[in-house]
Amino acid sequence: MTAILETAAQAGSFSQLMNAFKTADIEQMFQGEGPYTILAPTDEAFAKLSEETVNDLMQDTYKLKQVLLYHVLFGDVRSDDLAEIHEAPTAEGSIVIVEQNADCIKVNDAQVIQMDILTDNGVIHAIDSVLIPTILEP
C-alpha cells in the first residue's frame, strides 16, 4: 500500500483535489502516520462548482484550507463505521452529517460513490460533491 495522498494521486479521479491540497499547502499534514479519512470529491464533483467558486477558493488559501479540512476526519473511518454513525467531527472543526439508507451513504448532501480505498495511513471515500462548511456558505 501507499500513503493516502499518493494513493489519491494514483487513482486518477482526484486531480482537482490534489491540486487544491498543493495550493493550500497542507500536503505535509498527511505525511504522518495518521490515520486519516479523506472524503474525497472526484474531479466530476469539482466540475459541479461554478467557475467563480473554484477561482475564489483557489485565490483565497485560508478559505480553501477550511474547505479541504472539512473533508478530513481523524482516524480510520471505514464504510462499516459510516453506516453506524450519524455525524463526524472534521479537521476543520465543524461536524458533517452522515445519513444512510439501503441504497447509499451520504455525507451532508454528497453521496459516497466509492468506499474504503485503503492506504498505509488511512482511508479514502470518493464523494460526488464538494462539501462547503456552513461558515463559508454564501
Residues 54-73: pLDDT tens digits?
A: 899 999 999 999 999 999 99
Alpha helices in 12-103 (DSSP H): 15-24, 43-47, 51-59, 61-69, 79-82
Helices (H) and strands (E) in the chain, counts: 6, 7
pLDDT at 99: 94
Across the range 13-17, mean pLDDT stands at: 95
Report all structural domains of the chain as residue ranges with CATH numbers, in order of start. Answer: 4-133 (2.30.180.10)
Residue 104, phi then psi, degrees to nearest 5? -160, 170
Cβ atoms of 26 and 68 within 8 Å: the answer is yes
Q: What is the pTM of this model?
A: 0.93
